[in-house]
Amino acid sequence: MKALGERLYAAAVEGDWTAAKLLLAYAVGRAPGAVDADRLDLQEWEIVSRGPTAAQCLRLLLDGVDPKDAAEVFKEAVPQGAKGVQSALLAFIDETKGGGSGMRLLIGEREARIGK
């Protein structure tokens, strides 16, 4: 391998551009691609969205806990249960632009499907 590397180096120094390109590709490596500044926010969002959700993190925390204790943690975290979370979400939507009518429709359809 040493002899082969020396011959490649000698050929590159003598002006063999193919040898020089091969030698540099292995010795230095390729240059990284140019950064597209217009897509940085999108790329960051894609990285974040591949991570676990808050619900998945909570589930992992509670998986090793006795179900009774997990229920107590949920009651402490969300005093009104799922309905409290839903009403808090709807209140937030009402305070934002557009009134959130699309979200209200989706929640209404969900309730009609599951009977809540």
Q: Over the stretch 72-116, which tens digit does the pLDDT of each residue have?
A: 666 666 666 666 666 666 666 666 555 555 555 656 666 666 665
Does residue 73 lie in a domain region? no
Structural domain count, the chain = 3
pTM strictly above 0.85: no
* Percent over 90 (pLDDT), the chain: 16
CA distance 7 to 19: 9
**Domain range spanning residue 116?**
78-116
pLDDT interval class at 3 (50, 70, 90): very high
Does residue 22 lie in a domain region? yes
